[in-house]
Amino acid sequence: MNILKRKFSLASLIILSTPAILIYVYFLIYPLMQSVVFSFYYWNGLAGVAKEFIGLENYITIFSAPKFWNSMLNALWFLLGGFVVLMPISFVLAIIITSKLKGVRFFRSAFFMPYILPITATSLIWIFLLYPDGGLVNNLLEFVNISSINWLGDPNIAIYTVVLVGEWISAGFYMLIFSAGMMAIPNDLYEAARIDGVNEFQRITRIMIPNLSETFRTFSILCITSSLRTFTLVWVMTGGGPNNATQVPATLLYTEAFQSRNFGSANAISTVLLFLALFLSFGVTKLISLFAGED
Amino acid sequence: MMKKLKHIIAFNRSKFIWYVVAVIWSLITLAPFVVTLISSFKDNSEIYGHMLELPSVWRFENYVMAVQDANILLCIWNSLRLTMMALSVLLIASIFVSYVIAKYWNKKPAKLLYGFFALGLMLPIYSTLIPLSEIMGTIDGFNNYSIVALIYVAFQLPMSVFLITSSMKIVPLEVIESAIIDGCEEFTMLFRIFLPISISGVATSAIIAFMAMYNEYILPIMFITEDSKRTIQQGMMYFKSDVLVQNGPLLACVILALVPVMVMYISFQEAIREGMTSGAVKG
């Protein structure tokens, strides 16, 4: 009787976990594995045409293509921008929303808002504001006598523009990451510092920053992984153009597959992306904790 | 006395600087939306070069065009429908599997299953697109909401399982054990013990998944081609593909598209912020 009941229980546990596992495996894990397998095949995307095994040729193709390395470089700009621009901004914003200023609730809601809106919408809004003739940004620059800049049309600066818009979107998110860390710092530390007559600058550099090492670690990991994931922002704002100048790995893989119909090399790009993401997620965590361990 | 006064001045000065920074960044975040809102009532000639001016004539016809030509209300409705379909499947599937994981949290297979789902938080979902389009071709999934919804579910499962499991894990082992001894069946255990305790986690994950799914861009672009089934992301692009971009109606579409998200954000701010950060910090 008891054994029967146990068996029944096991069966119901399997039934309960099956739907999630099935959906997850069929629509996410299985396609990922397929893209790894088919990165070794040639295929032009036509349904009736058989795939042809060609070994490492797709990888040779993409690794010798300048546009692939350019897309990697652009991902690197997202990463670099994250550390140089985004980190200070979101750090300052976090100080503001954890302070006792009046209207803090309003600031917090406002700062976070861009992050939750559809990227399509925010991208369209920025295309419009950055319009070279008579867009708001160039109009404001006219006041300080800077001649108009073709923000998204100039291949030399388009990528920086997109990176900055990306930072405008996610500043509010990283602000929350930092503010969570700041609120975890015990209040008596500040209290003791106040009694010792510590000024605002020292309060930040001597107390806040040393106590936020965990948060900086989180920031680094998120920043690294998300720089590889950028797609919609670039796709809507520039479509990877002008002249492939703003391609990031994800948009390049999409263009290669669905516009140039090079499914083989697109699968190779997506495999590189997959392993890079896994390596960075695990590797960087390990690496950082190694460095932190030495401190 | 003097010293105290100095202290207050110094304190207020730093407070003042923070205030200025806060106001400047608020302008940088909010001005684009205000300009968009104003411009959605203008025509092209009034927009460029005069973005900060109010329209001389309020052109409500931009909104009429958004509704009639781009069919934006239908797009919003489609997005909501697709999102709700996906959301209900997502919640059922992830509550069930999270329950199994949380109940046997101290056992190896449950931990493995959890790790298997958590892995999804790191995977680049764009790498699935090519095989997915092939799969969709073979199972006739194009323009089929129920199947597209299942892809939405697959993409959101890692986050939901993570959030719901962590809110279910707090059920103490003794409670589970004594419930088993009392002959408590799986469903009773789930609905009487695990679900009530994790209800806020379930709510948070529902809200987050709603936002992510409503904002989803690439999946509808790839798998929904029929005009009557287009989602809001495609609706917003309607006037953009015009040769002469008509900014007024385009921005009217954007403003209308933002309404559902803004309503969600204003009503559930706390849960959204909490869920998004806790998910990210762990993932």
Tens of pLDDT, residue by residue over A239-280, are 887 888 999 999 999 999 888 888 889 999 999 999 998 888
Cα distances (Å, whole numbers) of residue B43 to B56, B62, B71, B105, B242: 10, 8, 20, 60, 15
Among B126, B175, B135, B149, residue whose Cα is nearest residue B231: B149
B280: chain A residues, CB-CB within 8 Å: 173, 177, 218, 222
Q: Measured between beta carbons, which residues in chain A are less than 8 angstroms from residue B183?
A: 5
Quote the mean pLDDT of chain A: 87
Mutate to test the interface with B, among A22, A136, A137, A238 (most CBs of B within 10 A): A136
Confidence of residue A160 (pLDDT cuts 50, 70, 90): very high
pLDDT at A79: 93
d(CA B240, CA A126): 13
Q: Given B32, B94, B155, which is nearest A28 (Cβ)? A: B155
Stretches in chain B below the pLDDT threshold 70: 1-11, 241-244, 279-283
Cβ contact, residue pair A124, B153, below 8 Å: no
The string of pLDDT tens digits covering residues A6-23 is 666 788 888 999 999 999
Which member of B26, B97, B185 has the closest CB to residue A110?
Answer: B26
Backbone angles phi, psi at A47, to 5 degrees: -60, -40
Cα-Cα end-to-end distance for chain B: 53
Complex ipTM, two decimals?
A: 0.88
Residues of B in contact with A129 (CB under 8 A): 32, 35, 51
Which residues from A are below 8 Å from B82, CB to CB?
none
Structure confidence at residue A175 (pLDDT): 93
Report chain A's terminal Cα–Cα distance, integer Å.
59
Alpha carbons A221 and A280: distance in angstroms, whole number: 8
Distance from CA of B13 to the nearest CA of A (A): 10
At A1 the pLDDT is 46
Interface size A-B, in CB pairs within 8 Å, comes to 254
Residue to substitute from A40, A86, A124, interface B, most B β-carbons within 10 A = A124
DSSP conformational letter for B123: S
Q: Of B210, B261, B206, B254, whose CA–CA distance to B81 is shortest? A: B210
User: Are B97 and A19 inside 8 Å of each other by CB?
Assistant: yes
Q: Is the peptide bond before A242 cis (omega within 30 degrees of 0)?
A: yes
Contact: A266, B127; criterion CB under 8 Å: no
Q: What is the chain A residue with the closest CA to B248?
A: A128
Residue B34 confidence (pLDDT): 92
Residue A293 has pLDDT above 60, yes or no: no
pTM of the shown model: 0.88
- Is pLDDT larger for residue B279 or for residue A90? A90
Checking if the pLDDT of A292 tops 70, the result is no
pLDDT at A47: 67
pLDDT at A295 over 50: no
Contact across the interface for B122 and A278, Cβ inside 8 Å? yes
Residue A294 C-alpha, separation from nearest chain B C-alpha, in angstroms: 23
Instruction: Give the amino acid at B262.
Output: M
Residue A153: phi, psi to the nearest 5? -95, -20
Hey, are the CB atoms on B93 and A20 less than 8 Å from each other?
yes
In sign, the C-alpha dihedral spanning B40, B42, B44, B48 is negative
Place of tokens 């998944």: B209
pLDDT of residue A3 exceeding 60 = no
Category of A45 on φ-ψ map: left (φ > 0), alpha (ψ -120 to 50) or beta: left
User: Looking at residue B3, what is its pLDDT?
Assistant: 60
pLDDT score for A294: 45
Rounded Cα–Cα distance for residues A173 and A223 (Å): 11
- Mean pLDDT, residues A17-34: 95
Calculate how close chain B gets to A128, using CA atoms only, in Å: 8
Are the CB atoms for A57 and A42 separated by under 8 Å?
A: yes
Return the DSSP state at A244.
Answer: T
Q: Contact B127/A273, CB-based, under 8 Å?
A: yes
C-beta separation of A218 from A87 below 8 A? no
Q: Which residue has the tokens 């629509």?
A: A27
**B218 contacts in A (CB within 8 Å)?**
231-232, 235, 254
Provide the token pair at B90.
């997502």
- The minimum CA-CA distance between B226 and chain A, rounded to whole Å, is 18
pLDDT at B282: 59
Kindly list the residues from chain B whose CB atom is less than 8 angstroms away from the CB atom of residue A131: 48
The answer to whether the CB atoms of B186 and A16 lie below 8 A apart is yes
Residue of A nearest to B154 (CA): A24
